[in-house]
Chain A
C-alpha cells in the first residue's frame, strides 16, 4: 500500500518455545488486542519493522504531493483548485503525523528523509506514475485514496498505539479525498466526448498500478507472517486487493467506464470478482527505480530539500538567538 513490501526485520515467525520471557509477555499482550505504546518494551525487530513501515508510509504522503501538485496550477475551476489544494495540504499533514509516529520509536524525521534521499527507503510505487490529464486527478482520488482507505481502515487495528491512532485520524480525511475524486470522475465520465476519453484513459493507465499498491501476492510475500503475528499488518495483500476490487467495480460501472481487465468477472461462489493480477515484473521494475517518474520524483524532492537548507538553517539560527539569554552572547 503506501507501505509495500516491508521487509520484516526477522525471518519467519519465532516459535513460542524460542521466545524469551519478555517476548512471550509481549506476544500475549498483542494476542489480547492490547496496544503497544512508545515506552513499553518491544522486540528490536518489531521496532525496526515498524520504523520501516511507518517511514515508508510517511514518505508516500510527502512524495504523493508531487503528481497532484502537477495539476494544481491547471485546475479547471476555482472550486476544483481549492479542493485540490486542501487535499494536498491534508496529505502533507498525514506525512507530519506519520513522521511523528515514527519518532516515538526513536528515529528522527530528518534521519528518515535522509534515508529516502539516499534511496535506502521507499515510497509507494503508485507515485512513480505520471498525471497526464485532469481526469488523473479524479482517478487518483477515487482509486488511489480509495485503495489507501481499504488498507488504512484495516491498519486502525494495528498493534502499535501511535500508528493506529494516526490511521484513525487520517482515514476521516481520506474518505473525503476519495469522494472528491469520484466527483471529478462523474463530471468527466458524463461530460463531453473529450472528457469521457480522458476519464477512460485515466482508468486504463491507473487501474493496474492501483492494484499494485497492495503489494505482491501473498504467495510471494515472505515477510507477512511475522508482521501478522505482531499485528503490524492485520490483513494480507491479497485480501485487501480483493476487497478493493469488489468495492470499486460497481463504481466504475456506474460511471460507464470499462475496466481494462478483459477477464474481470463476478464469481458468485466467492462473492467477489475474479480479476487479472497486475504485471508483477512491472511492479518490481518500479520498485527498483525504473518507473516512469522515479528519477524525476526523487530529483524534485532532493532539490527541494537542498535548496531549502538555507531556510532551515536561518530559522534555526534565529530561534537559537532568541532562546539564548542576552548575557551568553
Chain B
C-alpha cells in the first residue's frame, strides 16, 4: 500500500464515520422527546454532514480519479464503506442514540485533538474546524448521558441497556491495521491504540457520573473500518440514502 492509498483509506474512514452517523441522527427529525432535542439532533447531524463534505472531498482529491464527496457518498456500495460498525447501528430509543453519540463524540474529540498536529496540513485544517463542533457535541452528549443515567430508575435502566448493547462496538476504534501503521509512520494520524488511555479516562469519568457500569470483557466486533464485514443495517441505510442518485443517474440536483 502506498502512502497515498493509505491516506485515501484513512480519509474515507473519517468521512464515512461522520456521514453514516449524520444520516442516522437525521432519521430523528421531528420525533425527539422535546423540541430542544429536535433542534440539537438536527444541529449535530448538520455538523456531521458538513464534516463529511470536508473529509470526503479531500479523499476524492487524494484519490485523483475525479470523485468528489457526493460521488463517494452516493455511489459506493457497502463493502467500500469504511465507517466503524458503531455508527451504522440502528438508532434504537433516544437513550441508545445519545449513548452512541457520546461514545463516538468522545473518541472523535480525542482523535481530532491529535490530528490538529498532523504532518498533512489539509488533515490538520479539517481537524481544527471539526474540533470546535465536536467539543460542543461531546459536552452535550455527555450531559445527556449523565442526566439520563442518573435520572429516574427507568432512565437509568435504559441507559445501562444502551451501554451494554453498544460497548462491544467501541473496541474497533482502537484496533490498528496496515492503514493506521502507514498513517502513524507518516505522522499524519496517531496510532489508534494510543488514544485508548485518554478515551477511557473521559468515558470512565462521564459514565461514573452517570452511575452506569462499563460491561466486562474485552471482546469487540470489527469489520467496519476495513469494510471486511459490515452489519446488515448499513445496506438498508444506503438504499434509502442513495436512492435518488441511483434511480436517476447523471441528473444534477
Contacts and interface: CB of A to CB of B under 8 A. Distances in A.
Interface of A: 62-63, 65-66, 68-69, 72-82, 85-86, 88-89, 92-93, 95-96, 99, 109, 134, 184, 187, 191-192, 194-195, 300, 303-305, 307-319, 321
Interface in B146-167: 146-148, 150-152, 154-156, 158
B154 A310 contact: yes
A86 B38 CA distance: 12
B134 interface: no
A318 B70 contact: no
Nearest to B245: A76
Interface stretch (B29-37, B59-67, B220-228): B29-37
Contact of A78 (B31, B35, B69): B69
Given A86-B46, A194-B248, A78 B147 contact: no
Interface in B55-109: 56, 69-70, 73-74, 93-95
B117 interface: no
Given A310-B155, A314-B147, A92 B244 contact: no
B251 A315 contact: no
Interface of B: 19, 23, 26-27, 29-39, 42-43, 45-46, 49-50, 52-53, 56, 69-70, 73-74, 93-95, 144, 146-148, 150-152, 154-156, 158, 240-241, 243-245, 248, 250-253
Ordered nearest first, which 8 A-B pairs have the shortest CB separation? A308-B33, A314-B155, A314-B151, A69-B29, A65-B30, A89-B42, A311-B33, A76-B253
Contacts, number: 151
B147 to A, nearest CB: 4
Contacts of A109: 35
Given A85-B26, A311-B37, 6 more contacts: A69-B30, A88-B30, A109-B35, A308-B34, A315-B155, A321-B150
A72 B29 contact: yes
B147 A89 contact: no
A300 B28 CA distance: 12
B253 A80 contact: yes
Contacts of A314: 147-148, 151-152, 154-156
Nearest to A89: B42
A176 B108 CA distance: 32
Contacts of B30: 62-63, 65-66, 69, 88, 92, 300, 304
Contacts of B50: 82
B32 A317 contact: no
Contacts of B148: 311, 314-315, 318
A78 B251 contact: no
B151 A318 contact: yes
Contacts of B70: 77-79
A63 B31 CA distance: 10
Contacts of B45: 85
A194 B251 CA distance: 9
Given A300-B30, A304-B30, A310 B152 contact: yes
Interface centre among B30, B46, B69, B240 (most CB of A within 10 A): B30
Contacts of A62: 30, 35
Nearest to B151: A314
A74 B84 CA distance: 22
A317 B151 contact: yes
Contacts of B151: 313-318
B62 to A, nearest CB: 18
Nearest to A67: B30
Contacts of A66: 29-30
Contact of B43 (A76, A89, A307): A89
Given A77-B253, A85-B26, A307-B93, A317 B31 contact: no
Contacts of B23: 73
